[in-house]
């Protein structure tokens, strides 16, 4: 069983969409209810909603009450009174009641906000019958999400070393949302890469030009499609599932520590009664990564999940694996690059894929190049040094991401 951590405005808003959708699944599916909701009912999710500012969490609390979905995050939220100003350093070394002297914020090793979050998380872990790990959700371009989300990942790695850490990171638009977003991405992704078992990257540019609500819904749908229980991993005797899907996903897609950046796509059937529905979904899924062959990208590993099989036509997992392996230009050194999971529960027919592609290396190179240009000119560095982020921290982040980019380049050869 997992604990979800929604950090910052982006993470909290996606969390609202995610858990509202999960509420509908839980009404029909006992397995989902047992895996994702706290025992004792009351609509309390196995999740934390964390933000430096109160307004977003308060808005989510009010909207869920009006919607009457049954979601109650009152005992699952931690907030303070001020934000982090799109500054990774302030989020990472956050101190709500810090003393200011000569323009420098005095940062302690552990801030009150961090202690409060870790205590709430500890309480939730101890209440679980079978705890496996954490699933984080936040952006990489802001302050609270990028900074505090990365700090949480680092702390949880130290406190719960045997638990998995599967982090979902939403990257900002390439055109720019903040003048410091390149620094924030550099510092956040490098820190998480060193402390998480896998990173699922959601690129706003790839999701497309949609309203904020549609973007949040799209990310929530992708998460649900990959993390909810599946029949393939359920106990054959009909026992209760402990939710091993995230753990197995990490094992399948990122067994190499230096290659752990993942991308996901999700498709829903327009006509579930179509006898050729799975063939059409598979064909559409193949086109979801159109850049694979045209840019020389290779697929290190991929996981396909078919849901809502129910009655009627069933997909052929062997045929799906064969088609994906041929279309995704899989590396030759991995003899079994494709895994296929099935879920026979009576949900809407859908198909999803989560892939470890070498094109992630080019994304990392872009972060390094853009932030390096700013760093060499000395832009905005004083904003970060004020909150305890020094030149050595930047240099270390550059080195980590250069190593990641080189690893992906070598993997595709």
Cα 23 to Cα 221: distance, rounded to the nearest angstrom = 13
Per-residue pLDDT, 393: 95
pLDDT in tens, 163-209: 999 999 999 887 777 889 999 999 999 999 999 999 999 988 878 65
20: in domain: yes
Q: Is 352 strand, coil or helix? A: strand
Mean predicted confidence (pLDDT) in 27-37: 72
Considering the domain architecture, whether residues 165 and 33 belong to the same structural domain is answered as: yes
The whole domain housing 294 covers: 263-360
Mean predicted confidence (pLDDT) in 131-141: 94
- Is-contact 127 39, C-beta < 8 A? yes
CA angle 164/339/331 to nearest 5° reads 95
Per-residue pLDDT, 45: 87
309: in domain: yes
Query: Taking the CA of residue 320 as centre, how many other CA atoms within 13 Å lie in the half-sphere pointing to its CB?
Result: 25
291: in domain: yes
Considering the domain architecture, whether residues 236 and 283 belong to the same structural domain is answered as: no
- Helical H segments across 174-229, by residue range: 181-195, 204-207, 212-227
pLDDT in tens, 141-159: 888 999 999 999 999 999 9
Mean predicted confidence (pLDDT) in 231-253: 83
pLDDT in tens, 322-381: 999 988 889 999 999 999 999 888 778 899 999 999 999 999 999 999 999 999 999 999
Q: What total number of domains does the chain contain? A: 2
Considering the domain architecture, whether residues 129 and 219 belong to the same structural domain is answered as: yes
Which of 40-54, 104-118, 273-287, 379-393 has the least mean pLDDT?
A: 104-118
* In the predicted structure, residue 108 carries a pLDDT above the cut 70: no
The secondary element (H helix, E strand) that includes residue 353 is strand 350-357
Q: Which among 213, 229, 251 is the end of a domain?
A: 251
For residue 204, what is the domain's CATH number? Answer: 3.40.50.1440
95: in domain: yes
Residue 202: CB atoms within 10 A of its CB come to 22
218: in domain: yes
Considering the domain architecture, whether residues 281 and 162 belong to the same structural domain is answered as: no
Of 29-38, 114-123, 201-210, give the range with the top mean pLDDT.
114-123
Of 31-35, 287-291, 299-303, give the range with the top mean pLDDT.
299-303
pLDDT top residue among 296 and 388: 388
For the chain, count helices (H), then strands (E).
16, 12
For residue 319, what is the domain's CATH number? Answer: 3.30.1330.20
173: in domain: yes
Average pLDDT over the chain reads 86
Give the list of residues 6+ apart from residue 160 with CB closer than 8 angstroms, or none: 125, 133, 134
Q: Tokens for 110?
A: 């552990």
Per-residue pLDDT, 384: 92
Considering the domain architecture, whether residues 91 and 227 belong to the same structural domain is answered as: yes
* In the predicted structure, residue 210 carries a pLDDT above the cut 60: no
pLDDT in tens, 36-45: 777 655 678 8
pLDDT top residue among 108 and 380: 380
Cα 197 to Cα 134: distance, rounded to the nearest angstrom = 10
Per-residue pLDDT, 272: 74
Considering the domain architecture, whether residues 113 and 217 belong to the same structural domain is answered as: yes
Considering the domain architecture, whether residues 321 and 182 belong to the same structural domain is answered as: no
Comparing CA positions, the residue from 87, 77, 85 lying closest to residue 54 is: 77
End-to-end CA distance of the chain: 37
Q: Which among 343, 360, 377 is the end of a domain?
A: 360
Burial class (CB in 10 A: 0-12, 13-18, 19+), 365: middle
pLDDT in tens, 35-88: 777 765 567 889 999 998 888 888 888 887 776 767 788 888 888 877 777 889
- Helical H segments across 51-210, by residue range: 54-67, 88-92, 112-127, 149-159, 181-195, 204-207
Give the list of residues 6+ apart from residue 171 with CB closer than 8 angstroms, or none: 139, 140, 141, 185, 201, 202, 203, 204, 363
Query: Taking the CA of residue 244 as centre, how many other CA atoms within 13 Å lie in the half-sphere pointing to its CB?
Result: 11
Considering the domain architecture, whether residues 104 and 153 belong to the same structural domain is answered as: yes
Considering the domain architecture, whether residues 175 and 267 belong to the same structural domain is answered as: no
pLDDT top residue among 338 and 99: 338
Cα 146 to Cα 140: distance, rounded to the nearest angstrom = 4
- Is-contact 45 128, C-beta < 8 A? no
Percent of the chain's residues with pLDDT above 70: 89
Per-residue pLDDT, 112: 79
Give the list of residues 6+ apart from residue 312 with CB closer than 8 angstroms, or none: 273, 275
Per-residue pLDDT, 271: 80
Cα 44 to Cα 98: distance, rounded to the nearest angstrom = 32
320: in domain: yes
pLDDT top residue among 309 and 212: 309
Q: Left, alpha or beta for 28 (phi > 0: left; psi -120 to 50: alpha)? A: alpha
Percent of the chain's residues with pLDDT above 90: 50
Considering the domain architecture, whether residues 237 and 198 belong to the same structural domain is answered as: yes
Considering the domain architecture, whether residues 71 and 28 belong to the same structural domain is answered as: yes
In angstroms, the Cα distances linking 370 to 84, 296, 334, 363 are 22, 23, 33, 11
pTM over 0.85: yes
240: in domain: yes
Q: Which among 192, 224, 251 is the end of a domain?
A: 251
Q: What is the DSSP secondary-structure string of 270-330?
A: S-TT-TTHHHHHHHHHHTT-THHHHTT--EEEEEEEEE---SS----HHHHHHHHHHHTTB
Per-residue pLDDT, 309: 83
Considering the domain architecture, whether residues 42 and 146 belong to the same structural domain is answered as: yes
């Amino acid at each position: 069983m997992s604990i979800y951590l929604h950090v910052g405005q982006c993470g909290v808003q996606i969390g609202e969409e995610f858990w509202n959708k999960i509420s509908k699944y839980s009404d029909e599916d006992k397995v989902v209810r047992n895996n994702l909701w706290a025992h004792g009912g009351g609509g309390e999710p196995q999740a934390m909603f964390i933000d430096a500012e109160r307004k977003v969490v308060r808005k989510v609390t009010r909207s869920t009450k009006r919607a009457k979905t049954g979601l109650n995050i009152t005992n699952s939220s931690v907030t303070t009174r001020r934000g982090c100003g799109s500054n990774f350093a302030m989020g990472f070394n956050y101190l709500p009641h810090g003393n200011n002297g000569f323009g420098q914020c005095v940062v302690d090793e552990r801030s009150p906000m961090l202690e409060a979050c870790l205590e709430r998380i500890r309480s939730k872990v101890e209440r679980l019958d079978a705890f496996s790990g954490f699933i984080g959700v936040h952006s990489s371009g802001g302050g609270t999400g990028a900074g505090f989300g990365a700090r949480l990942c680092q702390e949880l790695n130290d406190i719960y070393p045997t638990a998995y850490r599967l982090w979902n990171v939403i990257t900002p638009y390439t055109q720019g949302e903040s003048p410091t977003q390149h620094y924030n991405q550099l510092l956040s992704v490098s820190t998480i890469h060193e402390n998480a078992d896998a990173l699922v990257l959601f690129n706003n540019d790839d999701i497309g030009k949609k309203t904020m609500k549609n973007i949040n819904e799209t990310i929530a749908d992708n998460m649900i499609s990959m993390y909810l229980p599946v029949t393939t991993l359920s106990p054959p005797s009909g026992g209760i599932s402990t939710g091993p899907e995230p753990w197995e996903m990490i094992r399948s897609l990122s067994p190499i520590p230096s290659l752990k950046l993942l991308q996901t796509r999700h498709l829903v059937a327009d006509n579930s009664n179509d006898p050729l529905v799975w063939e059409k979904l598979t064909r559409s899924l193949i086109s979801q990564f159109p850049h694979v062959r045209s840019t020389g990208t290779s697929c290190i590993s991929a996981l396909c999940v078919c849901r809502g099989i129910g009655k009627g036509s069933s997909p052929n997992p062997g045929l799906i694996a064969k088609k994906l392996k041929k279309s995704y230009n899989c590396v030759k050194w991995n003899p079994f690059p494709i895994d296929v999971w099935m879920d026979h529960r009576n949900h809407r027919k859908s198909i999803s894929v989560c892939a470890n592609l070498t094109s992630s290396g080019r994304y990392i190179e872009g972060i390094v190049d853009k932030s390096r240009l700013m760093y060499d000119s000395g832009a905005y560095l004083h904003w970060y040094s004020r909150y305890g982020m020094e030149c050595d921290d930047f240099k270390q982040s550059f080195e980590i991401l250069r190593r990641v980019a080189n690893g992906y380049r070598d993997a595709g050869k």
